[in-house]
Amino acid sequence: MRRSKKLEDIQGSLPGGNALTLRRVGPDDEEFLVALYGSTREEELAQVEWAEGQKDRFLRWQYELQRSEYQTRFPDADYYIVVMDDQPAGRIWIGRDEQQIRLLDIALLPEFQNRGAGTLLIRHLIDEASVAGKPLRHMVFVLNSDAHRFYERLGFVVIEDLGAYKHMEWQTEAGN
C-alpha cells in the first residue's frame, strides 16, 4: 500500500530554486499571521476610508473569527507556517475527519506567490487524499477567479455554489 509523507516533512526546492519547509504555528507567529491575513484582504479593504487604528482592529477581529470558526469545526486541525528561504512566507491550515481532508486555508504573502509553493503543497494533499481514499475539499471565494482556475488546473471541481463561495473538491479515482 502506498503511503503519503506527512505534510510537515515537506522540504525541498521549488522550480525557481527557493527552499520550502513547513513548521507548526507557534505563539510567536500571531503578528505574522494577522499581517498575512491582512494581505489577503488588501484589495477589498482599500475601498474603505479607515479612521486611525480602525483597519487594524477590524483585521484582527476578522482573523480571530476565522480562526475560531476553523478551530470549532476542526478542533484537531494542523496549522503550519510556510517558510521559503528561511523566511515566513505564508500559512496552510488543514482539517481532517472520517469523510474528508479539508484545506481550510492557504495563503502566501504577495512577494512569495507564483513560485510553485501552492502547487507543491496542494499536490501533497492530493496525494494524501488519494492514499486515504477521501476527497480533498476547499472553499473558494466566488470573486477569486485566479484561485478558482488554480484549483481547476489541479483537478478540483465545483460541487456546490454557496453564493459568495464555491465549494470545490478533488476526488480519488475511485470517487469519480
> Cβ distance 52 to 118 under 8 Å?
no
- Give the pLDDT confidence score for residue 175 in this predicted structure: 47
Distance CA 101, CA 3 (A): 15
- Give the pLDDT confidence score for residue 164 in this predicted structure: 87
> Cβ distance 49 to 42 under 8 Å?
no
The mean pLDDT values, 10 residues at a time, for the chain of 176 residues are 55 75 95 93 86 92 93 93 94 94 95 91 93 94 86 94 91 59
* Structural domains in the chain, sorted by start: 7-175 (3.40.630.30)
- Give the pLDDT confidence score for residue 32 in this predicted structure: 97
Measured in residues, the chain has a length of 176
CB 68: neighbour CB atoms within 10 A? 10
- Give the pLDDT confidence score for residue 40 in this predicted structure: 87
pTM: predicted TM-score of the whole model, two decimal places: 0.86
| Residue closest to 3 by CA, chosen among 132, 125, 109 | 132
- Give the pLDDT confidence score for residue 5 in this predicted structure: 55
